[in-house]
Structure 1
């Protein structure tokens, strides 16, 4: 019985014009689905527009590649990145003029993360790029090694103020503290957080190279992606 019904259906599908039309529509729909998957897959690999204006960075203005790190000052993996992976990036790409390196905040661990990020933004706004990076590096170096402190409030206002005094004068520190307490750096922090959410950042450190997220595992993977980005940039000029 089952076999005869299948044969009957087959006969109808090859002789009935309506059935042919349905088959044609289904086929066309399938092709559209496949093309759509290909299109969106390629689209996801394209550069995502990021506004780099007003962001702290290291490197030459003329560098063709923009590297962005989304980080959290309380994140132990970010500390490790800053101490081990970043020096390789600095030597290979920043110092050679191949890339600019930007830092943007994705503060997600606890209130310390937000406080440190907004304080660092105030440092950048009030004292400029050079002092920001000195403070940035010093802050990571002062992150406790023991991960049991990760959820505790370590980066208090007094701690951040004392840390800044190691790279800035008392007068400069007072300017930063005033700006921080008046929430003058909050907008800059919110801008970073907005971009992190827009780009789908879910952890730190997360890296983007010319707007594309780095998903490799090794420095060689990173190097290859930077070189490919530089090549694409040159070909588009």
Structure 2
């Protein structure tokens, strides 16, 4: 019996060593990835998203284009809108140094689509009131457990985009009149291989962590410095 026990122990030794080696490799690979990502917090894609006919606020001729690929039903997008966007307005958009554009990402099914249809329809009818509606919709629709309905969208429109006729907006939503524009957004999303929301770009740089304001600020400042030199 003692010999059998000894043989079993000897068999376990190589297995244990293999586990240790595997764990060590995982740790090393993780460390290498961490070091690789410690750069400027951005990934260059070599192309700036086209923002013609896309909701844009700020100076459209600004040297820096900030783009959000977002979903109105995305809780993280709601947080980004409330935490990061006000800083961008204060530091760059209001001064004319940067513009901010929004592409619709349909990631949560019918409710995402309803919200996007309403927002795009409002942009077509009253572009000067779009952003008020956009921010309000983001905060309502993006909350956990919220439900997007046509009635909610009409109520928000009445409060934040009063220039839009409610009956016409309801018809536009039901008939999906803005679907072509949303499909155009989707084509750009596919072209830039956007996989999650919010995805943020500063000119041709994708921000690795959209909530890292220092990384966003650094990317913007670098672009501004490049244009002024």
Q: Answer whether TM exceeds 0.5 for this pair.
A: yes
- Residue of structure 2 aligned with 1:141, choices 139, 142, 151: 139
2:153 match: 160
Unaligned stretches of 5+ in structure 1? 1-43
- Residue of structure 2 aligned with 1:219, choices 213, 220, 226: 213
Q: What displacement does 1:198 show?
A: 1.3
Q: What displacement does 1:175 show?
A: 2.4
Cα root mean square deviation, aligned: 2.0
Q: Work out the CA distance in 2 between the residues paired with 1:183 and 1:103.
A: 19
1:231 match: 225
What does the per-residue CA deviation read over 1:127-155, in whole Å, with 9 as the maximum and x for residues that have no partner?
A: 22x2111111111222364x3x26xxx11
Q: 2:81 aligned with 1:87, yes or no?
A: no
Give 1 or 2 for the bigger CA radius of gyration.
Answer: 1
Number of residues of Structure 1 aligned to a counterpart in Structure 2: 186
- Residue of structure 1 aligned with 2:174, choices 157, 178, 181: 181
1:49–1:89 CA distance, 2 compared to 1 (3 A): closer
Unaligned stretches of 5+ in structure 2? 1-42
Q: What displacement does 1:45 show?
A: 2.8
Kept in 2, the 8 Å contact 1:120–1:136? The answer is: yes
Kept in 2, the 8 Å contact 1:126–1:175? The answer is: no
Q: Work out the CA distance in 2 between the residues paired with 1:222 and 1:170.
A: 34
Kept in 2, the 8 Å contact 1:126–1:176? The answer is: no
